[in-house]
Structure 1
Amino acid sequence: METLINRFLSYVKIDTQSDPNSKTTPSTEKQWNLATELAYELERIGLRDVTIDDHAYIMATLPSNIEKEVPVIGFISHFDTSPDFNGTDINPRIINNYDGKDIILNEAQNIILSPDYFEDLLQYKGQTLITTDGTTLLGADDKAGITEIVTAMEYLVQHPEIKHGKIRVAFTPDEEIGRGAHKFDVEKFGADWAYTMDGSQIGELEYENFNAASAKVVITGKSVHPGYAKGKMVNSITIANEFIGILPPEETPQNTTGREGFFHVHHIKGEIEHTEFEMIIRDHNKERFEERKKLLLKITEKLNSMYGPCIHLELKDQYFNMREKVEPVMHIVEIAKEAMVEIGITPIVKPIRGGTDGSQLSFMGLPCPNIFAGGHNFHGKYEYVPVESMQKAVEVIIKICELTATKKYET
């Protein structure tokens, strides 16, 4: 596991945060620092056809070592990290033989990773954890996935007795800002299907995700002296409050789970004459997703009829539930489940309460379920990853490659 740990630490110490306000790809110049290192490393471990394009998308090939024709499969992870929290000067900590108690991440700032709050910690008692120092995120999302793919490919190169077909790997920028698949060349990748290594706890296997849209609401008001405002003032702030108040109060992220959808207002700013707020709309069910968008249109129409044409609503679809693209080829999920079972992992098949490059790729013609990478508490100072989970992810990748090379899964 030492190689696995060292590889992961070398990746997370390189700052690769993406920037949603940037119009370039990658969205930040610093993502190139890891991208170029990864391209070099793939060549060093013995992969072929290593390419890195003008937008930092990396692809490489592990050639087949069998004579018969079998499906070409792929493994994909992203190297950018979330802009939601500090990702500069990451200083990981290694906790050997975790004792199940509180972990003091930062004594000076009294930042504690506690199983009293994060109960998942207890399932890793006795294992090796990699945590933050309490001042940054860790970057296991998704540098754990990259580590696992590179390590698995290196192992297969070094162990030709393990039979497999042609394997393609790819690493992408800007997944954290929803653009990881936008410039992915599916035809060039040339796989029949792929797996993103971008899930959380050990055993996770996902082929459903939210249908997603964004909404921006802009309200124009009229400012009049409050002492003489009757019948004249239009307060855009109160109209924004009224708009938000019509939304179902129980349908928010903090009140939903599983396949339950939500509205999430995540940004608002305003004054009397101008207020704008942004929200995201999420639902696994396509019909309910469309109903949610219609509700926003109805609220806009209602309030505009009350206050005049003061509200402008901008709705944009972001991605869709990949289930409809994966269900016709469910054998690709069954292979992953079988791989987990064969190495002693109980598959946890559940919907993703979020998005994934795999969703967009599935709609681009590359069916792409998501497999655990092992990390927890992504995008913040409490992020951690058990090394043993990463090792198991490596074994799952290897086993999938083996299973796909058997006659049972020929297509």
Structure 2
Amino acid sequence: MSNNITLDVGSRFLNYVKIDTQSDPNSNTNPSTEKQKDLSRILVQELLDIGISDAHLDEWGYVYATIPSNSDKKVPTICFCSHVDTSPDCSGANVKPIVHFNWQGNDIILPDDNAQIIKVEEHPDLKSQIGNDIITASGTTLLGADNKAGIAEIMAAAKFLMNNSEIKHGTIKILFTPDEEVGRGTEKVDLEKLGADFAYTMDGESLGTLEDETFSADAVTLTIHGVSTHPGFAIGKLENAMKIAGDILSALPKDTLSPETTEGMEGFIHPTQISGIQESVKLDFIIRDFTVKGLKEKENFLQNIVNQTLEFYPNSSIDFKIIEQYRNMKEVLVNYPHVVDFAMEAIEMTGIRPERRSIRGGTDGSRLSFMGLPCPNIFAGEHAFHSKLEWVSVQDMEKATQVIINLVQIWEKNA
């Protein structure tokens, strides 16, 4: 595919980010917020409009669609996946996207809050964007490039493929999921209906990167049962659950094992939420490591802190509950090296130097891989996600769209 073919990815993206699709970690519904379906309905209609006749939205908020094969070969069915929801960590309502055309290397001051400045020295990937068109939010919300950049790229590629039948490919499946940001993106997916052999999420960061390794992840919930009594008559009786929680938190290391003190292949123990009264407190953690062995070591470390803390509160107890979240996709993908190799080749075909990376996080691809659908993660161009400083460049999104188009041709060629 020629690099100078005009793609509509930028205009699609600008439309999608204006729709509030924030998910809610405290909701028990599927999807966690109904407003996610507002975007999904639009995507279904756009897919129908470009001729993809089976595009539909199911009751759980998943969009399914099929681009039929136009090859005489028997080609494995490939799926491209992105999520419609945006992070609950930062407001996603009333997003006002701004295009900084032909950006020339200056710090970007966001107009609705001048304290929000995208500084070049703090965002090293900006240094390769001179002359490109940078899209940001206005300073009061996130942008939503995570993961509406991926959605726009898949949609633009789908339209291109439907309009250019000379490009040979096998059957292509499209999947848009809800609730990825709250760890439930694959909870209700129907893989039998999807019918794909392999998949790729379009949910990565820097231009040219492909991620085939993620954290393994567990959640830990501590339910602290203290001893409550009237404070005027509490001597020798009261064991305040809030103070017990405080002791546990203060016993965590200050210089290691936390997100703010780790990098690369290091994992962490991270408290995320606390609630309760003097009688009972709930304390939530996420545990991250690249190996299950590392997860268990950190969970044991936290359990030892709990045990040592309870020595000072003999009449109290703590329920220690571990919930498996996802596992390192590398454990699956190592058995299907061609899935990654084809993606690296597709990136290189666009004129970009491909780079394999590990994710200090997870994607829908982590769970999909362990559900039987091997699924690495391809760059979408999103940066500084979950924050008001989020940005993406139109040119990076166009490159990612080209990678999709290259990739389906590589699968067809090698069938």
How would you bin the TM-score normalised by the shorter chain? Answer: over 0.9
Structure 2 counterpart of 1:155, from 151, 156, 160: 160
| 2:297 is the alignment partner of 1:291 | yes
**What's 1:380 paired with?**
387
| 2:257 is the alignment partner of 1:251 | yes
**What's 2:193 paired with?**
188
Distance 2:19 2:320 in 1: 39
1:136-285 correspondence to structure 2 within 5 Å: 136-222=141-227, 231-249=236-254, 250-269=256-275, 271-285=277-291
Distance 1:119 1:69 in 2: 43
**What's 1:327 paired with?**
334
RMSD: 1.9
Distance 2:113 2:297 in 1: 49
User: 1:270 deviation in Å?
Assistant: 5.1
Mean alpha-carbon deviation: is it higher for 2-11 or for 322-331? 2-11
Mean alpha-carbon deviation: is it higher for 390-399 or for 15-24? 15-24
Distance 2:147 2:113 in 1: 29
Distance 1:107 1:194 in 2: 39
Mean alpha-carbon deviation: is it higher for 295-304 or for 58-67? 295-304
AA paired with 1:268? I
Counterpart contact for 1:211–1:321, Cα < 8 Å:
yes
Q: TM-score, normalised by structure 2?
A: 0.93
Q: Which runs of 5+ in 1 are unaligned?
A: none
User: 1:34 deviation in Å?
Assistant: 1.0
Partner SS, residue 127 of structure 1: coil
User: 1:128 deviation in Å?
Assistant: 0.4
1:11-410 correspondence to structure 2 within 5 Å: 11-106=16-111, 109-222=114-227, 231-249=236-254, 250-269=256-275, 271-308=277-314, 309-406=316-413, 409-410=414-415
Counterpart contact for 1:253–1:262, Cα < 8 Å:
yes
TM-aligned CA distance change 1:301 to 1:108, over 3 Å: closer
TM-aligned CA distance change 1:2 to 1:50, over 3 Å: closer
TM-aligned CA distance change 1:260 to 1:344, over 3 Å: same
Partner SS, residue 145 of structure 1: helix
**Which deviations, in whole Å up to 9, do the C-alpha atoms of 1:195-220 show, x marking residues without a partner?**
00011111121111111111122223
Counterpart contact for 1:196–1:368, Cα < 8 Å:
yes
**Which deviations, in whole Å up to 9, do the C-alpha atoms of 1:138-175 show, x marking residues without a partner?**
11111110100011111111111111111111111111
Counterpart contact for 1:115–1:122, Cα < 8 Å:
yes
Counterpart contact for 1:48–1:63, Cα < 8 Å:
no
TM-aligned CA distance change 1:305 to 1:29, over 3 Å: same
Counterpart contact for 1:359–1:368, Cα < 8 Å:
yes
Partner SS, residue 258 of structure 1: coil
Aligned length: 408
User: 1:20 deviation in Å?
Assistant: 1.4
User: 1:231 deviation in Å?
Assistant: 3.7
User: 1:120 deviation in Å?
Assistant: 2.3
**What's 1:8 paired with?**
13
Counterpart contact for 2:36–2:84, Cα < 8 Å:
yes
Distance 2:26 2:235 in 1: 40
**Which deviations, in whole Å up to 9, do the C-alpha atoms of 1:78-136 show, x marking residues without a partner?**
11111111111111000011111111212654322221322322221111001000011
User: 1:42 deviation in Å?
Assistant: 0.7
Counterpart contact for 1:106–1:112, Cα < 8 Å:
no
Distance 1:283 1:36 in 2: 37
User: 1:297 deviation in Å?
Assistant: 2.8
Partner SS, residue 18 of structure 1: coil
User: 1:298 deviation in Å?
Assistant: 3.1
Counterpart contact for 2:7–2:156, Cα < 8 Å:
no
User: 1:305 deviation in Å?
Assistant: 4.3
Q: TM-score, normalised by structure 1?
A: 0.94
Percent of residue pairs bearing the same amino acid type: 47
